[in-house]
Structure 1
Amino acid sequence: MPQFKSLSKPKIDIENFGMGANISPINQVRMMDEDSFEHFTVEWLYTCKRNMYTSIRKIGGAGDKGRDVIGYYNNGTVDYYQCKHYASALMPSHYYIELGKLCYFTFSKEYAIPKNYYIVASNDIGPTLNRLIENPNELRSELKINWDGYCKNAITKTNEIALNGVFEKYVDSFDFSIIHHCPIQSVIDDHIRTIYGTIRFGGVSVKIPDKVDPPEALDSDELIYVIELLKVYAEALGIDELPMDMLEKYAKYNQNFERQRKDYYSAETIRRFVRDVFTDSKQFEVLKDETYDGIIEVHEAEYPNGFGRLNAVTKHASMVTTDKSLLSSKLHCIGNSEKKGVCHILVNDGRLKWVNNDD
Structure 2
Amino acid sequence: MQFPYMPSPKKIVFGYDPDEFEEFVKEWVPALEQGYERVERQGGTGDHGIDVAAYRSTQGLEGPWDNFQCKRYKSALNWSTAASEIRKMFAGVVLGHFTRPIQYVFVAPAFARPLRDALAKPEQTRVKFLAELASTGDEVITRLTTDQRQKVTELAEQTDFSMFSPVDMDQMLEQHKSTPYWVMRFSDDERERPAIMTPPDEHDAEEARYVQQLVEVYAERWKSEANTLQLIAQHPTAGKHLRRQREAFYSAESLRRFARDAYPEGHFNAVMDDVCTIAVEVCDKRFELGWDRLQGVLEAAGGAALTQTVLTRFVRPLDRIGVCHHLANDDRVTWCEEGGAA
TM-score, length-normalised on structure 1?
Answer: 0.70
- 1:75-90 equivalences under 5 Å are 80=66, 82-89=68-75, 90=77
Could you say if the C-alpha distance between residues 241 and 97 of structure 1 is closer, same or farther in structure 2, counting changes exceeding 3 Å?
same
1:142 aligns with 2:142: no
Check conservation: 2:275, 2:323, Cα contact below 8 A.
yes
Q: Provide the residue aligned with 2:319 in structure 1.
A: 338
The answer to whether structure 1 residue 180 and structure 2 residue 180 are counterparts is no
Question: Given the alignment, which residue of 244, 249, 257 partners 1:272?
Answer: 257
Q: Distance in 1 between matches of 2:191 and 2:138?
A: 51
The 1:93/1:230 distance shift into structure 2, 3 A limit, reads: same
Task: Give % identity.
Answer: 21
Given the superposition, is the C-alpha separation of residues 227 and 150 from structure 1 closer, same or farther in structure 2, using an over 3 Å criterion? same
- Structure-1 separation of matches of 2:245 and 2:226: 19
- Determine the structure 2 residue equivalent to 1:356: 337
Deviation at 1:167, TM superposition (A): 4.4
Select the residue among 100, 106, 117 that pairs with 1:119. 106
* Structure 1, 340-349 or 235-244: larger mean CA deviation: 235-244
Aligned residue for 1:282?
266
Q: Structure 1's 127 and 239: CA in aligned 2 closer, same or farther, altered over 3 A? A: closer
TM-score, structure 2 length as denominator? 0.73
More relative contact order, 1 or 2 (CA 8 Å, 6+ apart): 1
Provide closer, same or farther for how the CA distance between residues 327 and 167 of structure 1 changes in structure 2, counting only shifts above 3 A.
Answer: closer
Matches for 1:103-252 after TM superposition, within 5 Å: 103=90, 111=99, 114=102, 117-121=104-108, 123-125=109-111, 136=125, 137-146=127-136, 148-151=138-141, 164-165=149-150, 167-171=152-156, 174=159, 176=161, 179-185=164-170, 187-188=172-173, 190-191=174-175, 199=183, 200-202=185-187, 204-239=189-224, 242-252=227-237
Q: What one-letter code is carried by the residue in structure 2 that aligns with 1:352? A: V
Which whole-Å CA distance do the structure 1 matches of 2:331 and 2:160 have between them? 63
Conserved 8 A contact 2:198-2:250: yes
Deviations 1:34-68 (A, max 9, x none): 5422234326634xxxxxx7x56654365897573
Partner Cα distance (1:64, 1:252) in 2: 70
Give the counterpart letter for 2:287 in structure 1. Y
Specify every segment of 5 or more residues in structure 2 that has no aligned partner in the other structure, as ranges: 57-63
Residue 82 of structure 1 contacts residue 120 of structure 1 at CA under 8 Å; is this kept in 2?
Answer: yes
How many residues in Structure 1 have an aligned counterpart in Structure 2?
A: 316
Query: Which AA in structure 2 matches 1:142?
Result: E
Q: Is the contact made by 2:214 and 2:242 (CA closer than 8 Å) also made in structure 1?
A: yes
Matched, 1:322 2:323: no
Partners of 1:224 and 1:64 in 2: CA distance: 55
**CA 1:293–1:324: 2 relative to 1, 3 Å:** farther
Query: Which residue identity does 1:36 align to in structure 2?
Result: E
Alpha-carbon distance in 1 for matches of 2:294, 2:239: 14
Q: Which runs of 5+ in 1 are unaligned?
A: 1-19, 47-52, 72-77, 154-158
SS at match of 2:314: coil
